């Protein structure tokens, strides 16, 4: 038996990514997101149009996708409810978001120069550098959502994740951090207590997950 329902979110399970983009003053904004997929050397990203990342990429399309593994979950969660924009919607404010111009410091992550322009994340095992080539509205004018098409121009991978000929990433060694219904998962199991889930007022999970580094 199936029921017709209207879930609050449709995050059935996607990899968590930290997006590096350039602010107008040349500094790097760092933003966590979990609506990303790839086809060939194109990445498709989904974000809210009010995000500082989207505002940056409209003006300056250079971008780095910093892929996240489970060891980075605590750092990621420290910036889950931070925004690089001083202008914030009432909905975001109600979920507990606050303005933070230096999210590298807030997360405890290390800046690393990239060929794309924005700083990448040193701790990320995989960095995808490139530029956004198209931004399109999705869901209608009242959705305040958009899709971003990124051309991946350079891929940097931690050596221990590579197979012998350097053309393949070992799927047994690469374990992405997954967000499923606003909760963090690694290897199919809960990985960390999610600040985002609390902000979205999601039901508490019936099992205890980690709360420290």
Q: Please determine, for residue 213, whether its predicted confidence score (pLDDT) is greater than 80.
A: no
Give me 190's structure tokens.
Answer: 């809960």
Instruction: Give the least confident one: 8-17, 25-34, 122-131.
Output: 8-17
Any idea of the CA torsion for 213, 176, 172, 111, to the nearest 10 degrees?
A: -70
The pLDDT of 75-98, averaged and rounded, is 78
The span from the CA of 131 to the CA of 148, in Å, is: 10
Percent with pLDDT over 70 in the chain? 92
Q: Please determine, for residue 27, whether its predicted confidence score (pLDDT) is greater than 60.
A: yes
The span from the CA of 115 to the CA of 151, in Å, is: 14
Among 121, 130, 137, CA closest to 32: 121
Give me 104's structure tokens.
Answer: 């590298």
CATH, range 14-199? 2.30.110.10
Q: Please determine, for residue 68, whether its predicted confidence score (pLDDT) is greater than 80.
A: yes
133 in Cβ contact with 151 (< 8 Å): yes
Q: Please determine, for residue 172, whether its predicted confidence score (pLDDT) is greater than 60.
A: yes
Among 48, 61, 51, 120, CA closest to 84: 51
Instruction: Give the least confident one: 145-149, 188-192, 197-201.
Output: 197-201
47 in Cβ contact with 53 (< 8 Å): yes
The pLDDT of 112-120, averaged and rounded, is 92
Give the chain's length: 213
The span from the CA of 211 to the CA of 136, in Å, is: 37
Indicate the domain borders of the chain.
14-199
The span from the CA of 108 to the CA of 75, in Å, is: 6
189 in Cβ contact with 210 (< 8 Å): no
162 in Cβ contact with 177 (< 8 Å): no
Instruction: Give the least confident one: 15-29, 36-50, 66-80, 89-103.
Output: 89-103
Query: Given pLDDT bands bounded at 50, 70 and 90, which one contains residue 162?
Result: very high
pLDDT of residue 26: 94
Give me 122's structure tokens.
Answer: 């040193």
Among 145, 157, 160, CA closest to 44: 145
pLDDT of residue 138: 92
Which of 8-12, 94-98, 122-126 tops mean pLDDT? Answer: 122-126
Q: Please determine, for residue 4, whether its predicted confidence score (pLDDT) is greater than 70.
A: yes
pLDDT mean across residues, the chain: 88
Phi, psi angles (nearest 5°) of residue 205: -70, 145
Q: Please determine, for residue 208, whether its predicted confidence score (pLDDT) is greater than 60.
A: no
pLDDT of residue 211: 46
């Amino acid at each position: 038996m199936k029921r017709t329902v209207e879930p609050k979110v449709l995050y059935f399970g996607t990899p968590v990514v930290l997006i590096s983009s350039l602010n107008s003053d040349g500094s790097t904004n760092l933003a966590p997101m979990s609506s990303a997929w790839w086809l060939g050397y194109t990445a498709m990203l989904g974000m809210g149009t009010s995000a500082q990342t989207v505002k940056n990429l409209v003006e300056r399309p250079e971008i780095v996708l910093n892929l996240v593994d489970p060891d980075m979950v605590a750092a990621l969660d420290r910036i889950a409810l931070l925004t690089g924009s001083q202008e914030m919607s009432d909905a975001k404010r109600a979920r507990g978001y606050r303005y933070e111009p230096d999210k590298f410091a807030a997360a405890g992550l290390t800046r690393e120069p990239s060929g794309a322009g924005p700083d990448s994340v040193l701790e990320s095992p995989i960095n995808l550098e490139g530029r956004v080539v198209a931004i399109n509205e999705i869901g209608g004018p009242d959705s305040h959502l958009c899709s971003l098409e990124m051309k991946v121009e350079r891929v940097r991978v931690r050596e221990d994740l590579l197979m012998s000929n350097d053309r393949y990433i070992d799927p047994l060694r690469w374990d992405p951090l997954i967000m499923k219904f606003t909760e963090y998962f690694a290897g199919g199991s809960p990985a960390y207590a999610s600040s985002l889930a609390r902000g979205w007022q999601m039901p508490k999970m019936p099992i205890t997950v980690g709360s420290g580094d």
